[in-house]
Each structure stands twice: as C-alpha cells, then as structure tokens.
Structure 1
C-alpha cells in the first residue's frame, strides 16, 4: 500500500512524554482522515483507509535506558501503522533521524520531536507550503507570525538565540531558525538528502537544509506555534557541538584543490619559522630586536590573568608599581586568550610561535578565499595572489615578532561582509501573506551588518591599527570604484549605510568598556611618539627587503627604521609588472580601483614630509593632514604601504586568471606573461627568518633562588632596568612563571603631564643613570645627590633585590650600583645581587 505521509519521531529517554505525543499524532491524523474522505469511501474502504488513512508513524528509539522502548513497542503492537526502529545504543539525534527517514515510504515525510513543542496541527501550514511548490517546509519560531506560547528561562533562551545565530552564520542563507524540530519534506528528496548525510548529532538539521540549498530545491520557512516543554534534551552547550559538527562537515566538503592550497600556505609558514620550530624556548629571532621577549610576555600575562581571574586589561607585573594598561598595548586578546591553554601547557614561546605560524597560514587562506569568491575563478591565480597578500615583504618583516600585523585572517572576512552590504536591500519576506512561506532573496542587510559588527569587534581585539589601515584601504578602493561605476555606487549607498549603522550598533556596546579603559583607564596615554623619519623613502617602494631572495641587509636597513618595520620593499620588477597589468586591463573598473588604492597607499606611506632620493629637496608629504588626527596620530605612517600587498596580489590574480583561462589556448604571448609574473615575484620570495641560540636565563632566576630575597609585595630590579633596548628581564619573568614584579619594562605608557605615549616606563633618575652607564661603559662619580635619588627610586619601586647578569659593560654597572648603595654586591648563582634587606 502506498503511503501519503510518514511521521518520524526520534526518541531518547522520553518515557514521560512519548505516549501523549504518539496519541496526539495518531488522533490528529485519524481525525484529518475522517474530515477529508467521503462517507462512500469510508463504507467501501473501512476505517483505516482513505486520503489521510495512508500514513505511517515511525518511532526511532536511540538507545534509551528508560521505558521509552516499551512505550513505542506497545504503540506498534496496537496499530499496524506504527513502526518501531531500535538503535542498539545512543548515537545521537542525527543518527536516529537518518534511520527513520530512510525507512519511510511516504510521499511526504514529517519529522517532529518527541516533546511535540510544535503542535501536530501546524502540519497544515507546512503541507500548504509543499502544495505551493516547495520541496521542504521548516517550522520557524523566528519569522513574523510565529507564536511562542511559553518561554524557556531567560538565560537559557539568550544562550539558545546566541547559539542559533552563530549556527545561521555558517549554515543556510536566508533561514532564521534551523533548529526547530518540526519539518516537512518531499519524501524522495528527503530520503536522498538523509542518505547523503553524515552527522549524528543536532547538526543534521543544518546538513539537510544545506543539501536542499545546494541542490536548488526550494525551502519554505513557515511561522508556527511553539511552546517550551520541560525536560528538553537540548542544552546550551549543544549549540557548540552543532558548530563543531558543521565546522567538521565544512572541512570534509572542501575541494581537495583548496586543501592543497591551504597545505602549501601552511608549509610556507612552517619554512619561514623553521629556525624556531624545533625548540622555540631555546631559539630567538635576533631581527625581532626585543619584540619577541615582549610578545612572549604578552601571551604569558594574558594566560596568567585568565588562570587567576585577574583583570585582563591591566597588570603591575611590569612597570611596578604603576602598572601597564594592557588594552593600550598590543596584547592581542583575540589571539592570546584562545591560546591560553597552549601557554599553560607548553609556555609562551611555544604559544607565540604556534599562533604566528598558524595565523600567517590562516591569513593566506582567508585572502585566497576572498580572491576566489570575489575576483577570479582560477584557483591557481587566486593562490598566487593570496600568497603575495600574506607573504609580501612588509608582512615578512612583521613576522619577526609583530603578530598583530601579520595575523590578519579577519581582514578578508570583514572586506567580504562589507561588500555583501553593497549588494542590495532585504527582500520583502512574505509581505501581505500573514504567515507567508517566502524565505527572501535579497541580501540581508541587518544580518550582514550584525556579522560585520561581530567581525569588527573581534578584529579590535586582534589589532586596532591593522583595522584602521584596512578601513583606509577600503575607503580608497570604494572612492575609486564609485567614480568608475557610478551606477553601482548609487545602488550600494543605502544598504551600505544601513548595514554599517547596524555594525556600529553591534560593535560599540561590545567594545565600549575596553576602549574606555584603553583611552581613559589607568596608565592610558594620548598618542605615541614615533619621531621623525617614520615614513617610507620612495626608494623603499622599489627596493628589496633583507629577507627577500634579492635583498641586502645593508641596503634595506638604510631605508627603514629597523628590521621589523620594512613596510614597503616590493621591488621594482613587481612594480613594473603591476603597471603593465593596469595598462592592459584598464577597461575593468576593479583594476582602476585597485591601482588607485595601491598608488594612494604608497603615496600616503611617505609620511608628512619626504626627501626626493639623491637630492636634498624635502617636500611636504601626503600624510601631513592626517598626522595629528585622532587615531592616525599614533600610526607609523610607513605601515600604510602594507595596504599595497593585497591590492598587488589581486592585480596579479586578475592577470594570471586571464593568462591561464581554460577557454584560451596557451600561446607564446601567454607563456611570456606567466614567465613575467614568475620573474617579478621570484626576487621577493622570503627566506626563512634567522634564529639564534637564546641567551640563557641566569640560574638565580631559573632555579628560584630569587625567592629568598623578595618579601611580599617587593619587586626585583634588574640592572639596568628593562626597556625597549634591553628587555631580557621579561624573559626572566616568564621563566619564573610571573611570580615577581619588575619596575621598568617594554610597553607603551604615558609620560609627562600631557600623558604622551612613549615606549617603556616614565624615566627616573636611577633608571636613566644605569642606562647611560650601559651605553657609555663608564661609571660616573657617585655623589650624595645620586645616592638620595637612588634611595627614593628604590623605595618607590618597593625593591627587594637588585640583580646584574653578565653583560657588556657589567663592570661599570657593578661599580655604579656599589657606589649608589655604598656597599659591594654579592655573586649568587651566576649574577651579582644587592640584597636590600639582608636576605632570609
């Protein structure tokens, strides 16, 4: 006998709710039968046949340990239209649904939860949607017209909505409520989709809807009545499980070519850091200057704050007793917080190295995804363009120890979401239909604005300056593209403005307190002084960085502040090639916009003034109007040239996509074009970063001897105090698990009455004196005034012991401290110490 409708009910430990649910379903279906068939049909066919009599009810017991199986078995014995399917053990809702749907025979298949939170009578609404031409209809609690008759606890409801929102961001476009357990499918399509499904848990709802979406089968989202039922099996943490399942599913469905590209990017990052990967604790990147010490400390202090539930925005471990405003420094909470478990288990050196290696590869993958989605369809072309965007010379310069400027995987996602806002307004969903079934076809500006706001919030905790530079690059691109395509600009203005407003409304409440703390909290500052010469020389744009194959250390360092700030150095072959690409593809508006973005960014990076090479002529720079503007005043202007990297990468991708187009036969000209790209990129291929044996931590620190010389609340004073030119004491501190405090340090903090930002602690007499001795190598004549100043400073720092490790000019430093304290130091476990209270 054919079956019109199959109802599938998955059940796990539902002894309290299953019997009433099955009774309600059977009563409804039998009642519907009586109202739809004629009395003649009833006389001829009996009481179990007719239009609605051709139904079956499948109960899938998912390994219940209570009386659920017995209740279902009794229902099966009492009605031949009820079928029981047993699972030997609990394998999850997805597994149970798959068993039930694949055993079904109905032309239509309804799945409903055992709690019947959506009344069976709502089947009529879903039935109408399929009659109107849809292949599936899903009950929705989120669409206008839905009725919530009883609510969950407010906290549980909030967590549920948050989880459902996160699921929707990676699930099916246009579907607001993926997790409602009341869905009606065309039978044949349902059996095909469930046969292809793989998930066992709650994520199967999304997996099935994704299958329908990919197949082009129309799905209606229908508002329904819903009431919370006590004893629900769904827990807030289950939304995390769903996200994990969907992420795993997405990875499994990624084309192998894309996985190969990702593996290549990861291999490139591994090779780049190969000098540190074997023993990160014992290796140091000398070209990072003191930044590696600083960043390992950032990871360590974040993990320590989380472990002890301390304020993650402030610490007194450095710059004691004033402390450090961590939010006003580049601690990258968006990275250091997720990596806290790695820091706890393996230490900050391993955590930082892993974060930078994986982050660089993830950045390249994100650029690849954006270029492939928005610009070209040729995967090889997109991969080359993404490699340039992520591994360009400026990025490699920052890869020494500036993760905030090379872990940029959120920037392509932010760009894509911004572009989505430009694509149109929301469709009028079900207008005039009351409980309409349309899902909408336009870009969902509100949703995209919310997602953009969340992405922006996260990027703020990864790095604010890269976000500012990305916004500047987007503004340059938008201005140029808008001029080239006025029609597109006019159509995009309204949804873009609306979406950006939504994004701001989402972002501001989430970051208000952290930003208040950053700009107005303790140890906050106004702007950072970078000094003159922070802009690029025009020659830097055409030269090669020292880590490029064609680079020269001497030539590169003459054109940059230091090895970590070689922010241009694209090389003249790539610049020449980019010019040729722009000329050849000038008719395309996107090429004009990319060219303008790259040129404008390069021009701005010259700074507020610049010297024409090989002359003494100094001209006003384009950065001058922005030099004192809020936010921009703290930017190192040479970094603006980093905006050129993705712009050049996209131009290269466009050129290669045209040269390698499968519809065109490869000719000598095309081979020459590909060769030109290779020859332009080869000189800037990065070499592995240099790594050397790390300076050993003195045994006095490593073995814990220092604990004998510090009382409660006292600080350990390195000689000289740690500062941006010498921050090895931060490594001492992380080696000691941050168990002692340090005056001085390497961070950004305020100085003077105007609270101008400087690198390091506000100078004091003694710290200045010791730094001068370290630089000059000569001990001065110590006067009573110096001794009084030293006593004041040591009291201010609440110092317990001074420690001098072997170093250049250590004899002069020891003589100076002997004079300041009017007594000699003592050699203990590899260091000279001055115990300020006699020891224990």
Structure 2
C-alpha cells in the first residue's frame, strides 16, 4: 500500500502518453462511426438505411434467427424459420456467427435492428482503430500518421458505402490483426525460437478462423491483397526472400492447421451442409474506370445521382470512388518516396487491386471497350468465381492509406525540427494531404421509415390462426424485392415460419447459388399484383396452384396488411383465390383449411 501511495504521489501511475493517444483515437473512431449512422440510431426500430435496399431487413432476420437458435439450443448455422420447409443455410449466408452468436442476448432484449446497428457501428470504428494500431506498431513511428491512415481505412468511401447494408464488409478489424501477425513472422525470420513462430502461427490461425465466421469473402479479398504485397516485396527485396522461406511457411502451416480445426464446422456447413451451393455468379461485376477518381454518393463532395451512374450494382457497392485528389496525392507520394521498397510495394499492391476491381473487361465512362483484363483468369478459380470483382477496391483502400501514413510520418519530423524552408514545405505537404481527404469525408447515411408491423402480429392475435411449427404467409410473399415482412417474425418471437424470403441458396441441379429461390406460382401471381395493381383472371388452375403452394409451405394463414401496396387489388385477388377473408384489426386474414 505504501508503494502504491508513493507512485500516486510521484505521478508514476499516470497512463503512458502512447496509451492515452490510443484511447483518444479509439474514442474518435467511435464518435465518427456514430456520426455516419446517426440517422439510423435516432430511431433504430422505426427507420432503416434506405440505400441498402432490402439488405437491412435480410441481415436483421439473420441476426434474429441466430438468436432464436441460441436460446432454444438449435444449430445457429441453419434455420427453417425462413424458406419453410426447406430452410436456409445461414453459414452460406454470411450470418456472421462470430458476432451474431455472442450478441444473441442483445438481439433478444433490444431486437435485431439494434444488434445490426451495433455491428455496423463497431465495424466502422473497430476497423479504423485496428488499422491505426497495426500501422503504429509496424509501419510508422508517428501515431498521428497512423491515425490518419486508420481513419481512411475505416471511413473511406468503400467502407461507408458498405455500411448501408453489409456488416460482413464493414467488420474488417480482424484483417489488420492478421497483417500484424504475418509481419511478425517476417520480422522474426532470423531470431525467434520455433516456439515463437508456432505461437504466431496459432494466433494467425485463430484470427483467420474468426474472420471466416465474420465473412469468408472478406478474408479471401484480404489474403489476395496481402499476397500481392508480399510478392511485390519479394521482388523488390530479393535479399529477404531466402530467410523468409525458412520461417514463413512453417508459421503459415501452423496457422492453416489451426484455422481448419477452429473453423472446420462452419466451413463444412457452408460448403456441404443442407441448402449449400457451389458458387454464386455475378457476371463481370467490375468497376467503371471513371469510378476510381469519382466521389462516392455519401462523400462530402459526392453526388448520389452522379455516383449511381458509375456504380455497377447499387449504392452499397461503390467500391472505388476514391476521389481524384486522393489518387493524385497517392501518386505524388510514390514519386516522392520512390526509392523506398516499401512505398513501391504498396503502390504495386494498390495498382494490382484496382486493376482487379475493374473486372474482366475495361469500361470507361460507360463505354465497353472490350479490352480483356486479368480478372478474367482469376475469376475462373474456385472461391473467386463467387466474388464481385469491384470489391477489390475495398481492400485497395488500406494500401492507399499506408502510403498516406508514410507521407505524414516523413513530414511531421521536418515540420517540428527542420529548417525554415523545409518546415514550410512540410506544412504545405500536410495541407495538401488534408485537402485530398476532405472531399471524401463521410456524411450521415440516409434513412427511411420502415413499414409498420401489423397489430395482428404485435398483439399476438396471430396465434388464433397459426399453430406452432406452421407457416404464416405474408402478402406479398417475402422475396429479394421485398423482405420487409421478415420483421414480423422477430415481433412475434419467431412463433411462426415464413415461406421463401431473401437469402442465398442452391438453384437448379448443379447447386449454383442464387438470390432467393424461383418463386412458386402463387407467389409470382401475388407479386405481379403488388407491382402493377392489376387483378388477373382467377380460374380453377390458379386456385389449384394456390392450394398446392399452401400445402407445400405448411401454411395455416395468409395475411394481407392494410399498408400493402395496391392493397385493394390484392384483396380482390386473394378473395378470388381463397374465398372471403376475415378482417382482423389492420389486416385481412385467410385461414387455410386443414
């Protein structure tokens, strides 16, 4: 006790300055993440990230199903609550069991919408801080420089784009920790005893296994980026190759064995479990070359409409959009520090990843040139055949951030200790760097009101119509184009199953992956009415198909909420198909006989 008092008196118990700075960076990352998602946090259950389309509803349903499995002791990698009775392979749907399982209590207590936002917020903040930590321990001496690089990694345009809908591409904080372990293996090639590379190999394997439970595609993209960097480094530093080959392969071998043991069950379910699929085709999936220097829709200088014309998919896939000032500064940094092998290796890595992000054929400002690109070869390999090529732009971001961090690290000492002219030049360089980052600073993501859950569901009155283990059929039937009715399940405590839905599953005899399933005849008919408002001719064939579909779905009731689009036309159609419905609260209900 006396010793403790003495340390307090002399001030030796103070937290070291480096750790205080780490804490300040962590707090800053969290505040910026909350800022980006502030409109959703203002009403987590009443608003959703509208640029994400139907994806937020899909993700919330996955979180809900995993939580339901955990509390009931079921397999969290598979559910029959969706796409009943066939079910959905959650391991093949990036349900993120590495987070959704430990967050199950939060999901059950506060709802899947809150868990979803927690994961997005923690993903942005955690990824930024993890890259800051990795840069500050492995790349630069200045923690300020590392913070600049980390902020770009966590809040650059591709990350903010995915924050509209894709937690598996926002929660990337494991990837920089993997980089840290690989760098440790490389740095220790001449010194550490075998137990050191075994320890690092085990750590690396466990991190890779965790990343698989968060998103295997992100691990594949990150591994490709790291392999590209190591290859470039080996070419530029041939003297380092031979010692690296003595230590790196054994460490990676230990890592691979550890990863397979730790993540084996998840991998088996993903690739061989029920409702698994072989590959997922996305077509070319590349960026327009003009997207690389353009500004993303939710960047400070961006225009959502202009960005949409260059985005190959939707606002969640703006995987380039670095902005021309950032690219110009990065090129300038490479020209300035071109004698440094590390700078050249990072530049080669960023260039390779941007080239892969362009897809199989070069497109310039909407013009398809027909020029073939390297992705044509890589896309034929297993696993890569399911990747959207433009997502390589997401992992090009850390390479660009590392270049900026190196530049800041070189300029700050000159600013502090250099001669007058050198200080002025360093200050000018730092201002140019800040000016390049300002236009791509993120703005709060857009939200919209969620469709309300019917009182029939929230009151529990649905129990009068649906028996345990049976299916409630919302109208329209849940699908890729409208997954909002999956929210009904969470509001009902997962007391009923749903037909069809928005998920990835096998399609056809070769088990090729597909978004959703081919809709059954009744689902197609009702979806057409919901889209057009036109009541079709209903005859014996349509009624027979409806009875067959309801039997297949094991349905006890069909429910049409009063808020449905073209509600009157749907009511008329359902009355013709199933007979007169019953008005209950704010819904029409058609009980299914038998």
User: Please, what TM-score do these two structures have when normalized by structure 2?
Assistant: 0.94
- 8 Å contact 2:134–2:176 — kept in the other structure? yes
Q: Secondary structure at the match of 2:452?
A: coil
Give the 3 Å change call, closer, same or farther, for CA 195–253 of structure 1 in structure 2: farther
Task: State whether structure 2 residue 333 is matched by structure 1 residue 581.
Answer: yes
* Aligned counterpart for 2:168 among listed residues 391, 395, 404: 404
Equivalent residue of 1:371, what SS?
Answer: helix
Match of 1:303 among 59, 64, 67: 67
Q: Distance in 2 between matches of 1:456 and 1:507?
A: 6
Does the aligned pair in 1 maintain the 2:201–2:252 contact within 8 Å?
yes
Q: Give distance in 1, aligned partners of 2:158 and 2:571.
A: 41
CA contact 2:284–2:360 (8 Å) conserved in 1: no
- Given the alignment, which residue of 448, 452, 465 partners 1:696? 452
8 A contact 1:317–1:742 mirrored in 2? yes
> 1:774 Cα deviation (Å)?
2.3
Report SS of the residue matched to 1:280: coil
> Which of 46, 49, 55 is the equivalent residue of 1:291?
55
**1:110-125 matches, cutoff 5 A:** none
Matches within 5 A, 1:147-166: none
Q: Contact 1:608/1:622 (CA < 8 Å) preserved in 2?
A: yes
1:764-783 pair list within 5 angstroms: 764-783=520-539
| Structure whose residues are more often helix by fraction | 2
Q: How does 1:413-492 map to 2 (within 5 A)?
A: 413-425=177-189, 444-492=196-244
1:817 corresponds in structure 2 to 574
**Equivalent residue number for residue 627 of structure 1:** 379
Deviation of residue 812 (structure 1)?
Answer: 2.5
**What is the CA distance between 1:615 and its match in structure 2?**
4.0
TM superposition shift of 1:359: 2.5
Candidates 525, 536, 548, aligned match of 2:299: 548
Residues 135-194 of structure 1: CA distance to partner in whole angstroms, max 9, x if unpaired? xxxxxxxxxxxxxxxxxxxxxxxxxxxxxxxxxxxxxxxxxxxxxxxxxxxxxxxxx899
CA contact (8 A) 1:717 1:799 kept: yes
Greater Rg, structure 1 or structure 2?
1
| 2-structure distance, mates of 1:814, 1:570 | 49
Could you tell me how far apart the structure 2 residues matched to 1:410 and 1:728 are? 31
CA distance in 1, matches of 2:505, 2:5: 59
CA displacement 1:296-350 (0-9 Å, x = unmatched): 1122111111111111111100000000101111110111112122112222111
Residue 664 of structure 1, aligned match among 392, 400, 418? 418
User: Which residue does the alignment assign to 1:793?
Assistant: 549
1:725 is paired with a residue whose SS is coil
Q: Which moved more, 1:379-388 or 1:352-361?
A: 352-361
Corresponding residue of 1:648: 400
1:375 paired residue number = 139
> What is the alpha-carbon distance in structure 2 between the residues aligned to residue 610 and residue 802 of structure 1?
49
For 2:310 and 2:557, how far apart are their aligned partners in 1?
43
In the alignment, is the contact (CA less than 8 A) between 1:723 and 1:760 conserved in 2?
yes
Q: In terms of mean alpha carbon deviation, does 724-733 or 274-283 score higher?
A: 274-283
Secondary structure at the aligned position of 1:461 is classed as helix
Is residue 332–residue 462 contact of structure 1 (8 Å, CA) maintained in 2?
Answer: yes
1:734 has 2:468 as partner: no
Is contact 2:39–2:446 with CA below 8 Å preserved after alignment? yes
Partner of 1:539: 290
Confirm or deny that 1:362 pairs with 2:116: no
1:688 Cα deviation from its structure 2 partner:
0.7
Q: Output aligned runs, 1:601-640, within 5 Å.
A: 601-613=353-365, 615-640=367-392
State the alpha-carbon separation in 2 of the partners of residues 294 and 375 from structure 1: 39
Note the 1:677-688 alignment, pairs <5 A: 677-688=433-444
How many angstroms does 1:616 deviate by? 4.7
SS of the residue aligned with 1:265?
helix
Relative to structure 1, is the Cα distance of residues 361 and 449 closer, same or farther in structure 2, using a 3 angstrom cutoff?
A: same
For 2:478, the equivalent position in structure 1 comes to 722
Moved more, 690-699 or 731-740: 690-699
Q: Is the 8 A contact 1:426 1:441 kept in 2?
A: no
- Render the CA deviation track for 1:746-795: whole Å, top value 9, x for unaligned: 11111111111111134222222222222233122123222222111110
Alpha-carbon contact 1:320-1:743 (below 8 Å) kept = yes
Equivalent-residue separation in structure 1 for 2:48 and 2:349 (angstroms): 36
CA distance change for structure 1 residues 473 and 349 in 2, over 3 Å: closer, same or farther?
A: same
**Structure 1: tracts of 5 or more residues without a match:** 1-98, 103-191, 198-248, 428-439
Identify if the C-alpha distance between structure 1 residues 616 and 360 changes in structure 2 by more than 3 Å, giving closer, same or farther.
Answer: closer
- Name the counterpart of 1:338: 102
Q: Deviations over 1:647-694 (max 9, x none)?
A: 111111111111111433453222221111111111100001112332
The alignment partner of 1:758 has SS state of strand
Aligned residues of 2:213 and 2:266 also touching (Cα < 8 A):
no
Query: 1:252: Cα distance to partner?
Result: 8.6
C-alpha separation in 1, matches of 2:483 and 2:557: 18
Give the Cα separation in 1 of the matches to 2:167 and 2:510.
30
Deviation string, structure 1 residues 530-565 (Cα, Å, up to 9, x no partner): 2x3521110111111110011111111111111111
2: distance between equivalents of 1:607 and 1:827?
52
Q: Deviations over 1:237-266 (max 9, x none)?
A: xxxxxxxxxxxx999996212211111111
TM-score of the two chains, using structure 1 as the length reference: 0.67
Instruction: Specify the alignment match of 1:66 in structure 2.
Output: none
Moved over 6 A (4+): 192-197, 249-253, 440-443
